[in-house]
Amino acid sequence: MTLSLFKERGLFRKIVIYTYAVYPILVLRFYVIFGNLTRIPLIGRLFRKIYALYGEFAHGGKVTPYEKVMELIDRTSEIALGPCDCRKYFHRCSYPLLTDLRIGLSGEAWIKLQARDFKKITQEEAKKVVKDCYKIGLVSTLAHCVYPYTYAVCNCCPHCLLHLFRFKYKVETALQKSDYIIEVDKDKCKDCGECLKRCFYGAIKEVNNKITLDEELCFGCGVCRAVCPTEARRLVLRR
């Protein structure tokens, strides 16, 4: 799954993005209702299959290390910063609210149509937002709206919508793993357990007083690196 910023201004996509910019919370509420349909006995499997296609081709996300997000920010000039719709809607955590970045065409749309909440910012300001989110353990996710075009950098907590669909409603395409995975230098690792507190995905475990990594569960977000006192953790390409 490769996301892009370019050739994103077709008429259909512009209509979709501008409509979404007018009704962001309404769209989120619809997704929650749709997600609950996947849990209904017998017919839930059908709705899950429908949303699997929707998540892949219409509206979904991919976990992305913050360094790669920085590279994307360098390639776009229209960036808007505003509140995370998921945290506004769910009220389930105490993480900062002003963490949502709309980029490219959606940056333009949100600046025009959500001017009360969103403001235009520079590339350097956007990079600071992403870096600050990384430091406190939020997971950067590139969200697409009409694949393969990125419309947002979401800095997600475990309660955000994409995580909800992946883990509660079992729709894997809603939130895809990054192209990377954590590699641990066992000679440097002191088994302090700081990384264990950061992992949203249960990939890091303590077994017999040793910190272990379950590669199948690792999403490759890399936020565990920020708290490693010995710099024993790094991201490598997923095999």
Asked if the model's pLDDT at residue 5 lies above 70, the reply is no
% of the chain beyond a pLDDT of 70: 96
Closest CA to 106 of 70, 81, 130: 81
Please check whether residues 33 and 145 belong to one and the same domain: yes
The reported pLDDT for the residue numbered 2 is 60
Please check whether residues 75 and 192 belong to one and the same domain: no
Please check whether residues 202 and 165 belong to one and the same domain: no
Asked if the model's pLDDT at residue 131 lies above 80, the reply is yes
| Mean per-residue pLDDT of the chain | 94
Please check whether residues 165 and 55 belong to one and the same domain: yes
The reported pLDDT for the residue numbered 77 is 83
Asked if the model's pLDDT at residue 3 lies above 70, the reply is no
Asked if the model's pLDDT at residue 7 lies above 70, the reply is no
Please check whether residues 150 and 198 belong to one and the same domain: no
Neighbour tally for 135: CB within 10 Å: 12
Closest CA to 121 of 139, 103, 142, 135: 103
| Domain C-terminal end among 159, 176, 193 | 176
Asked if the model's pLDDT at residue 1 lies above 80, the reply is no
Please check whether residues 60 and 92 belong to one and the same domain: yes
Write down the pTM of the prediction.
0.92
pLDDT in tens, 8-51: 668 899 999 999 999 999 999 999 999 999 999 999 999 999 99
DSSP string of 47-107?
Answer: HHHHHHHHHHHTEEEEE--HHHHHHHHTT-S-EEEE--HHHHHH----S-S--EEEETHHH
In a domain, 2, yes or no: no
In a domain, 139, yes or no: yes
Write b or e for each residue in 4-24: b if 16 or more Cβ atoms lie within 10 A of its Cβ, otherwise e: ebeebeeeebeebbbebbeeb
The reported pLDDT for the residue numbered 19 is 96
Please check whether residues 213 and 164 belong to one and the same domain: no
Which CATH number does the domain housing residue 221 bear? 3.30.70.20
Contacts within 8 Å (CB) and 24+ apart, 123-129:
123/73, 123/74, 123/76, 123/77, 123/79, 125/79, 125/81, 126/73, 126/79, 126/81, 126/101, 126/153, 127/70, 127/73, 129/81, 129/98, 129/99, 129/101, 129/155
Total domain count for the chain?
2
Please check whether residues 122 and 170 belong to one and the same domain: yes
Please check whether residues 169 and 186 belong to one and the same domain: no
CA–CA distance, 58 with 145 (Å, rounded to integer): 5
Please check whether residues 31 and 148 belong to one and the same domain: yes
CA–CA distance, 156 with 163 (Å, rounded to integer): 8
In a domain, 83, yes or no: yes
CA–CA distance, 32 with 30 (Å, rounded to integer): 5
Structural domain of residue 30, as residue ranges? 11-176
The reported pLDDT for the residue numbered 155 is 98
The reported pLDDT for the residue numbered 203 is 98
Neighbour tally for 108: CB within 10 Å: 20
Q: What is the mean pLDDT of residues 114-122?
A: 97
The reported pLDDT for the residue numbered 10 is 83
Asked if the model's pLDDT at residue 6 lies above 80, the reply is no
Largest separation between any pair of C-alpha atoms in the chain: 58
And the tokens for 210? 């040793």
